[in-house]
Structure 1
Amino acid sequence: METFSYTFPAGKEISQRAHTGVVGSGDLEILIEPGNNKTTEFVVRTASEGFESIWKAVFERFISSNDIDAKVTINDFGATPGVVSLRLTQALEIANQK
């Protein structure tokens, strides 16, 4: 099990907390909470060790168009970068519903 985090500057607020996905083979769970410090903090707990640079690249790409002020907690069980991106987009959509 590996745990790491990244923090990026951010400015866009989200409306509410959100949850998407499940911790299961080839998938992951994402929880988003509104922040209050103008940053996006990603906290990752993963069963797949040695992929930290790939996680960082996925987050940088997501943040380039979604600089949300939030804490994003990810519990992973072997999801691919494509699944991570999909789940992040789903969670953001839920967090912005009013």
Structure 2
Amino acid sequence: MTNKINGQKLTFLISNDPVFSLVVTDKMVTGIQIESDFIADIILPKEKRNYNGLERHLQYLLATKKSLPEILDQIKEKGFSTPIHYNLKIDITEC
């Protein structure tokens, strides 16, 4: 189990087109880049674009109580899939 996150870039894609990206470090979300405001607001509302908001929203989408580091590990291992946004994909890269 991972307790810390060391600079991981999350890119949210709809039908393989980037919508927005952000960088997650230990307890922080930075480097938010938006490609489409309208779609980004649907996927992750502005008020949730912080560490706790991202963690809670991914918990909701994945129906889990895991911590954000555990969720990111799960996405890296198994990919991301949710019936709420069936064409949403999250790519994770180290930065």
Q: What is the TM-score normalised by the length of structure 2? A: 0.33
Higher strand share: 1
Q: What is the TM-score normalised by the length of structure 1? A: 0.33
Quick one: higher RCO (CA 8 Å, sep 6+), 1 or 2? 1
